[in-house]
Amino acid sequence: MQDGSPYYDVGGFVYTAHHALEIDAIWRGVDVLEYRGVPLEQIARALDQDWETSVIALAMLGRRP
């Protein structure tokens, strides 16, 4: 679920059962993984298999300094 803004609106949020995650942090997490050599297809597969866990992990990774 989301707050009505598109998923690419970095000022928006994605909601899970227990968290409101900043979209910007999720995209930064994707960028970090890509920089480390993880292909987008692998990231997408993880999101398809367990969306909530994957999006939380991406957001946490994207929030690291």
The single-letter DSSP state of residue 9 is -
Both structure tokens of 13: 């949020």
Per-residue pLDDT reduced to its tens digit, 11-62: 788 888 899 999 999 999 999 999 999 999 999 999 999 999 999 999 999 9
Alpha-carbon distance values, 41 to 12, 47, 63 (Å):
24, 10, 22
Confidence of residue 64 (pLDDT cuts 50, 70, 90): confident
The reported pLDDT for the residue numbered 65 is 74
pTM of the model: 0.80
Instruction: Write the CB contacts of 14 (distance below 8 Å, at least 6 apart in sequence).
Output: 1, 2, 7, 20, 21, 23, 26, 55, 59
Please list the alpha-helical segments (H only) found in the chain. 23-35, 40-49, 51-63
Is the confidence at residue 5, as pLDDT, over 50? no
The reported pLDDT for the residue numbered 11 is 72
